[in-house]
């Protein structure tokens, strides 16, 4: 099957799909998304493909009644059993006002993270406040895999403070 915007390489039982639209920094459009859907369906039913790899991760935050200050540093990590950091994101990202949604923020994904290696892993969210900051929020983490599947992990009510800076939640998918 030929594609306008995708490249397909095979390395044994691993299929590597690359979006090939460098003139627009690999931005997705409806044609490319349609090509991805068709290719993922084809690969999903290909007996020669034996590995499904983590290809993307994003997190969205939903601030409740106590905002995240402009200068509070945020660190997010997806960690496999055994401690390998598979995806991560860090920075201040500005103010997250009360009753607001921020994101999705794309996490940097490490190479060769197999879907089967993540059950039993966890998500860690930590803050480094500059002063006394309390942040009440929820989140949704989305992990995207090479077979087109997406795993969601979410929590509706979280609080991080100067005294309680880290949340560790099991990946639930």
Query: What CATH number is given to the structural domain containing 153?
Result: 2.60.60
> Which range (15-24, 55-64, 144-153) has the least confidence?
15-24
Pair (11, 84) in one structural domain: no
Residue 35 lies in a domain: yes
Structure confidence by residue, pLDDT tens digits, 28-38: 678 887 888 88
* Residue 33 structural domain: 6-44
| pTM of the predicted structure, to 2 decimals | 0.73
- Contact predicate 39/31, CB 8 Å: no
Res 112 pLDDT > 90: no
Q: State which of 47-51, 100-104, 124-128 shows the largest mean pLDDT.
A: 124-128
Domain shared by 112 and 156, yes or no? yes
Q: Is 145 helix (H, G, I), strand (E, B) or coil?
A: strand
Q: How many domains does the chain have?
A: 2
Q: Are residues 75 and 133 in the same domain?
A: yes
Task: Give the confidence band of 45 by pLDDT, cuts at 50, 70, 90.
Answer: confident
The residues near 139 (Cβ < 8 Å, ≥ 6 apart) are: 59, 60, 61, 62, 125, 154, 155, 158
d(CA 94, CA 61): 13
pLDDT of 155-170, one tens digit each? Answer: 999 999 999 999 999 9
């Amino acid at each position: 099957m030929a594609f306008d915007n995708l490249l397909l390489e095979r390395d044994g039982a691993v299929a590597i799909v690359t979006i090939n639209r460098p003139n627009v920094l690999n931005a997705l459009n409806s044609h490319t998304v349609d090509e991805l859907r068709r290719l993922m369906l084809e690969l999903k039913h290909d007996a020669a493909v034996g590995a499904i790899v983590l290809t993307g991760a994003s997190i969205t935050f939903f601030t409740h009644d106590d905002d995240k200050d402009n200068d509070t540093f945020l660190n997010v990590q997806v960690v496999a059993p055994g401690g390998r950091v598979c995806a991560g994101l860090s920075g201040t990202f500005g103010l997250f006002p009360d009753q607001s949604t921020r994101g999705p923020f794309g996490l940097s994904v490490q190479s060769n993270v197999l879907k089967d290696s993540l059950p039993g892993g966890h998500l860690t969210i930590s803050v480094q406040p500059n002063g006394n900051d309390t942040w009440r929020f929820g989140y949704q983490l989305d992990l995207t895999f090479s077979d087109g599947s997406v795993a969601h992990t979410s929590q509706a009510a979280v609080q991080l403070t100067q005294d309680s800076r880290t949340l560790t939640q099991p990946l639930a998918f």
